[in-house]
């Protein structure tokens, strides 16, 4: 009887270890270049689509599907402010142009060259070159993007977004909250509908997180009985780290240093470059269950 209990205990232990290993097992990815961008799959299920259609305001990711539900955590467009397109990078008040809100004549970020450096395996790597421009004005920026997508486990999907902005002329960016890397959550996961917004310091909601410097912020909520979330993390190498955040209870959040510029203006000389790195984590559970602080620590150490 004693030996039987020992064997049963050993078997249960092995089952638990196998389950733990399965949870941490890296998922297999593949990517395909299509006429309007790059489709990225995790274990043959669509995770995200990087959209580069030339008649859009800027390239952006949509959908960004949750690892449990398979439904997008972000919205392509929603009231208020329908110009927020899912997960994107843009900026207003750049030499008088608007590379954020609708209206291509006001400014547009156009994909010029798109390639897949790695199209399958444990990671997907996308290289993208874009040009900022508007009618009857010189282009203020050229940008180079390196996008790396991984899935370290069944419950976690990561998009690392690295961008280098090169000034093609002297540039002035005026104080604006409409700037840089941002996400717009689907309304069902917003604070207004019962979701949670929390930063690295544990502050919650728009009232506590707006304007506060933090390494990351996370949005999560329950939809159809499933809890999932999306986090944006800023790399310590970023020029303004830790940036103050622009947050809204309706589902928008962004590390937005341009809203708190010293003197109200950021001058950038012709030829000057700005390097920025962000990590987006689509995860099961809330920020604590998704272990976002651990994700940040691992990312910081590995780069």
3-class DSSP string for 107-159: CEEEEEEEEEEECEECEEEEEEEEEEECCCCCCCEEEEEEEEEEEEECCEEEE
96 in any annotated domain? yes
Q: What is the pLDDT of residue 48?
A: 98
| Prediction pTM value | 0.91
Q: Are 222 and 62 in contact (CB under 8 A)?
A: no
Q: What is the pLDDT of residue 4?
A: 47
Q: What is the pLDDT of residue 24?
A: 57
Spell 55-76 as b/e; 16+ CB within 10 A means b: ebbbbbbbbbbbbbeeebbbbe
Q: Are 126 and 115 in contact (CB under 8 A)?
A: yes
146 in any annotated domain? yes
What Cα–Cα distance (Å) separates residue 125 from each residue in 40, 58, 213? 10, 19, 30
14 in any annotated domain? no
> Would you give per-residue pLDDT tens digits along the chain (303 residues)?
444 444 444 433 433 334 334 445 899 999 999 999 999 999 999 999 999 999 999 999 999 999 999 999 999 988 788 888 999 999 999 999 999 998 999 999 999 999 999 999 999 999 999 999 999 999 999 999 999 999 999 999 999 999 999 999 999 999 999 999 999 999 999 999 999 999 999 999 999 999 999 999 999 999 999 999 999 999 999 999 999 999 999 999 999 999 999 899 999 999 999 999 999 999 999 999 999 999 999 999 987
55 in any annotated domain? yes
Picking from 188, 191, 211, the residue whose alpha carbon sits closest to that of residue 201 is 211
22 in any annotated domain? no
Max alpha carbon distance in the chain (Å)?
Answer: 87
Q: What is the chain's mean pLDDT, rounded?
A: 92
Q: What is the pLDDT of residue 290?
A: 97
259 in any annotated domain? yes
Q: What DSSP letter does each residue of 184-205 carry, written as one string?
A: EB-GGGSGGGT-EEEETT--BH
Question: Which CATH number goes with the domain that contains 128?
Answer: 2.70.98
Q: What is the pLDDT of residue 77?
A: 86
For residue 116, what are the domain limits? 29-302
Q: Are 179 and 88 in contact (CB under 8 A)?
A: no
Radius of gyration of the chain (CA): 20
8 in any annotated domain? no
Number of domains in the chain: 1
18 in any annotated domain? no
What does the CA dihedral 21, 301, 258, 130 come to, rounded to 10 degrees? -70
């Amino acid at each position: 009887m004693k030996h039987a209990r020992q064997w049963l205990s050993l078997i249960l232990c092995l089952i638990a270890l196998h389950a733990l290993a399965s949870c941490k097992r890296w998922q297999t990815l593949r990517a395909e270049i299509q006429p309007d961008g790059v489709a990225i799959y995790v274990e043959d299920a669509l995770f995200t689509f990087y959209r580069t259609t030339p008649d859009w305001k800027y390239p952006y990711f949509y959908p960004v599907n949750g690892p449990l539900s398979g439904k997008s955590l972000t919205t392509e467009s929603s009231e208020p402010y329908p110009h927020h397109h899912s997960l994107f990078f843009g900026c207003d008040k750049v030499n008088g142009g608007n590379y954020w809100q609708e209206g291509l004549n006001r400014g547009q970020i156009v994909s010029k060259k798109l390639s897949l450096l790695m199209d399958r395996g444990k990671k997907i790597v996308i290289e993208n070159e874009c040009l900022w421009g508007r009618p009857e004005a010189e282009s203020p920026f050229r940008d180079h993007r390196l996008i790396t997508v991984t899935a370290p486990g069944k419950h976690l999907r990561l998009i690392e977004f690295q961008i280098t902005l090169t000034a093609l002329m002297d540039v002035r960016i005026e104080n604006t909250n409409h700037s840089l890397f941002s996400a717009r959550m689907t309304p069902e996961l917003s604070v207004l509908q019962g979701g949670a917004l929390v930063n690295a310091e544990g502050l919650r909601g728009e009232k506590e997180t707006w304007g506060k410097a933090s390494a990351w912020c996370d949005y999560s909520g329950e939809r159809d009985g499933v809890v999932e979330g999306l986090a944006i993390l800023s790399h310590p190498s970023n020029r303004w780290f830790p940036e103050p955040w622009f947050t809204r209870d309706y589902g928008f959040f962004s590390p937005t240093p341009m809203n708190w510029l010293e003197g109200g203006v950021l001058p950038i000389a012709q030829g000057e470059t700005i390097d920025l790195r962000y990590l987006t984590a689509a995860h099961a559970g809330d920020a604590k269950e998704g272990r976002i602080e651990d994700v940040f620590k691992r990312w910081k150490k590995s780069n």
